[in-house]
């Protein structure tokens, strides 16, 4: 899923806890990431990653400055877009009390994906591998646009369904 969609889903899921406790906001946002990944979805591709499409998901990072910079820009733009939409809907006051829950839902919503590069680089004796295994376990095995699902119709289904999910969450955040 795009990070924009993850941010919107996380904000919608965590919003009921905004005035309860920051820890609950964070937990709800992280949980929403794993649950959202369980839905078959389309994803844009990182050129910096050599993907392993087996169940092991043993991806490798390709270190090449131009591609890495381009991917980082794509990631930043994706995070910025989602955060901006969430911010514009909620319009929090510019103080710590109101910005903290929004920041935590954005951060929690993208954290599982932000941790992924750690596992592409640090493979030996990594005590946190269970996090990656849980991510892969929760992730739908239907990768629209990849693997066995590269036909154009699947890509369209993936993009349309993700747009619908994003619009639904925008409505949820509003209400
Ligand atoms: Zn994910």
Q: Where are the domains of the chain?
A: 3-174
d(CA 164, CA 150): 21
pTM of the predicted model, to two decimals? 0.93
Task: Assess whether pLDDT exceeds 90 at residue 142.
Answer: no
Neighbours of 83 (CB within 10 A): 22
CA 117 – ligand 1 centroid, Å: 12
- Average pLDDT value for residue range 60-74: 94
Ligand 1 centroid – CA 114 distance (Å): 9
State in Å: Cα 34 to ligand 1 middle: 6
- Helix H or strand E encompassing 60: strand 60-61
Distance CA 140, CA 104 (A): 25
The rounded Å distance from CA 98 to ligand 1 centre is 26
CB 50 within 8 A of CB 62: yes
CA of 138 to the centre of ligand 1 (A): 9
Evaluate whether 110 touches 79 at the Cβ level (below 8 Å).
Answer: yes
Give the integer Cα–Cα distance in Å for 91 and 104: 15
55 pLDDT higher than 80:
no
The percent of the chain in helix, strand and coil, each rounded to the nearest 5, is: 65, 5, 30
Q: Which pLDDT score, from 0 to 100, does residue 34 have?
A: 98
Say if CB 105 and CB 85 are below 8 A apart. Answer: no
| 3 CA distance to ligand 1 middle (Å) | 9
Q: How far is the CA of 61 from the centre of ligand 1 (A)?
A: 17
Ligand 1 centre to CA of 109 (Å) is: 9
**Strand, coil or helix: 61:** strand
What is the whole-number distance in angstroms between the Cα of residue 10 and the centre of ligand 1? 12
CB 39 within 8 A of CB 144: no
Residue carrying structure tokens 């994906």: 113
Alpha helix ranges (H) inside 15-151 = 22-37, 65-90, 96-121, 129-138
CA distance 131 to 38: 15
Q: Supply the angle between the helices 65-90 and 3-14 in degrees, to the nearest 10.
A: 30
41 token code pair: 């979805």
pLDDT at 56 over 80: no
pLDDT of amino acid 69? 96
* Model confidence band, residue 42 (pLDDT cutoffs 50, 70, 90): very high
Ligand 1: distance of its center to the CA of 90 in Å?
24
Determine the distance separating the centroid of ligand 1 and the alpha carbon of 13, expressed in angstroms.
16
How far is ligand 1, taken at its centre, from the CA of residue 100, in Å?
Answer: 23
Arithmetic mean of pLDDT, 73-82? 97
């Amino acid at each position: 899923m795009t990070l924009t969609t993850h941010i919107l889903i996380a904000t919608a899921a965590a919003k009921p806890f905004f005035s309860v406790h920051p820890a609950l906001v964070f937990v709800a946002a992280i949980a929403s990431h794993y649950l959202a990944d369980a839905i078959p979805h389309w994803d844009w591709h990182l050129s910096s990653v050599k993907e392993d499409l087996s169940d092991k998901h043993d991806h490798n990072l390709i270190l090449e400055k131009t591609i890495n910079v381009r991917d980082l820009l794509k990631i930043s733009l994706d995070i910025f877009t989602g955060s901006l939409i969430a911010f514009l809907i909620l319009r929090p006051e510019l103080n710590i009390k109101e910005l903290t829950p929004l920041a935590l839902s954005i951060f929690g919503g993208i954290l599982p994906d932000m941790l992924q590069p750690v596992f592409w680089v640090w493979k030996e004796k990594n005590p946190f591998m269970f996090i990656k295994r849980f991510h892969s376990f929760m992730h739908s095995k239907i990768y629209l646009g990849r693997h066995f699902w590269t036909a154009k119709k699947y890509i369209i289904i993936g993009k349309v369904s993700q747009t619908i999910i994003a619009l639904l969450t925008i409505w949820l955040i509003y209400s």
